[in-house]
């Protein structure tokens, strides 16, 4: 098991209500786990606990079966894609090159191989033509793609991605989702937060849905993403439509359409 979290409890302040309450999950090589749940339910907080930037009050996190993995080894094992990143005036190539940092000796500069891997990562997400453009002079979606490229260049075994398709058009959503599926098929592990349950279906992923800081629903997307489960999770009527006989699209009903 590459990632195993057990009974995590996290509060932003002592005595405050828990943001994460008894949350457990496990992720193996070759798997995609899609983390769903309403706004403010603790998805980013969970990712930040898993990468070690927040400290849970109790519970355990093991990577490759080991607790308290040293920072350098952790950086070689897992890559985090945040919702938004700060790249300033760095070029997108330099942003992608930052993914190579854990592989460099202290104070060493990236070499030709690092630059090739960074460029390949930009190509894989379709923005190699923007390699020399400063991060603060590209669109929100292009920034998101650059942050994904940085993670790809890092060549980790485990990806933790916070809403990686949130700013992307349909074409780029399909490109990124195809890339994520291909990474899993290559044996890598991915934990991906999303507000689009459809994406869990497209990715043929397992799902863990958080609500009020607790696991509300868990299982394979095709089994658990049913109209009644989603309607309860998001507190709104949701239909699940089929394509080729399999659930494919999760569509909320507006108040005027409620039956
Ligand atoms: N620094 C902070 N201090 C106090 N509360 C915080 C802080 N950051 C987040 N929160 C609260 O913690 C809860 C969980 O936030 P989190 O960002 O993990 O939710 P999320 O599920 O990722 O939400 P979204 O889907 O909107 O991105 C929310 O109620 C949020 O308001």
Nearest CA to ligand 1 atom 16: 42
Q: Where are the domains of the chain?
A: 29-51+67-252
The predicted pLDDT at position 259 comes to: 60
CA separation for the pair 247, 219 (Å, rounded): 15
- The whole-number pLDDT of residue 63 equals 95
Q: Is 12 in the pocket of ligand 1 (CB under 6 A)?
A: yes
* Dist CA 114 CA 223 (whole Å): 42
Distance from residue 233's CA to the centre of ligand 1 (Å): 17
Question: What is the pLDDT, as a whole number, of residue 258?
Answer: 64
Report the nearest atom of ligand 1 relative to the CA of 213: 14
pLDDT at 103: 94
- Give the pTM: 0.94
Range scoring the smallest mean pLDDT among 84-93, 143-152, 167-176: 84-93
Is pLDDT at 256 greater than 90 in this prediction? no
Q: Is the pLDDT of residue 85 over 80?
A: no
Helix axes 112-124, 140-154, angle to 10 degrees: 130
Q: Rounded mean pLDDT of the chain?
A: 94
- Per-residue pLDDT at 87 exceeds 80: no
- Read off the pLDDT band of 68 (50, 70, 90): confident
Choosing from 23, 35, 43 the residue with most ligand 1 atoms within 8 A of its CB, the one to mutate for a pocket test is 43
CB 28 within 8 A of CB 89: no
Instruction: Say yes or no: CB of residue 164 within 6 Å of ligand 1.
Output: no
pLDDT of amino acid 143: 93
The alpha carbons of the chain give a radius of gyration, in whole angstroms, of 19
Q: What is the CATH number of domain 29-51+67-252?
A: 3.40.50.300
pLDDT > 90 in the chain, percent: 89
Reduced to 3 DSSP states, what percent helix, strand and coil does the chain have, rounded to the nearest 5?
35, 25, 35
Calculate mean pLDDT across residues 186-206. 96
Q: Could you give phi then psi for residue 209, rounded to 5 degrees?
A: -105, 125
What distance in angstroms lies between residue 12's CA and the mean position of ligand 1's atoms?
9
Question: CA 19 to CA 10: how far, in whole Å?
Answer: 6
Q: How confident is the model at residue 107 (pLDDT cuts 50, 70, 90)?
A: confident
């Amino acid at each position: 098991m590459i990632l195993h979290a057990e009974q995590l409890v996290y509060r932003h302040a002592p005595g405050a209500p828990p943001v994460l309450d008894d949350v457990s999950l496990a992720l193996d090589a070759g798997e995609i786990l899609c983390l769903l749940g309403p706004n403010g339910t603790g998805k980013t907080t969970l990712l930040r606990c898993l990468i070690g930037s927040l400290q849970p009050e109790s519970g355990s996190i093991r990577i490759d079966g080991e607790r308290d993995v040293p920072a350098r080894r952790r950086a070689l094992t897992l890559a985090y894609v945040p919702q938004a990143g700060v790249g300033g005036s760095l070029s997108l190539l330099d942003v992608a090159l930052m993914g190579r940092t854990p592989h460099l000796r202290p104070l060493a500069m990236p070499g030709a191989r690092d630059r090739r891997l960074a460029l390949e990562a930009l190509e894989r997400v379709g923005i190699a033509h923007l390699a020399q453009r400063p991060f603060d002079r590209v669109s929100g979606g292009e920034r998101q793609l650059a942050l994904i490229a940085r993670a790809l260049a890092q060549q980790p075994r485990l990806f933790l991605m916070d809403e990686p398709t949130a700013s992307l058009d349909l074409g780029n959503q399909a490109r990124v989702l195809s890339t994520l599926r291909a990474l899993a098929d290559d044996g890598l592990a991915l934990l991906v937060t999303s507000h689009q349950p459809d994406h869990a279906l497209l990715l043929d992923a397992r799902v863990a849905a958080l609500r009020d800081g607790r696991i509300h629903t868990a299982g394979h997307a095709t089994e658990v993403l049913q109209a009644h489960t989603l309607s309860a999770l998001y507190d709104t009527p949701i239909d699940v439509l089929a394509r080729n006989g399999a659930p494919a699209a999760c569509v909320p009903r507006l108040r005027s359409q409620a039956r």
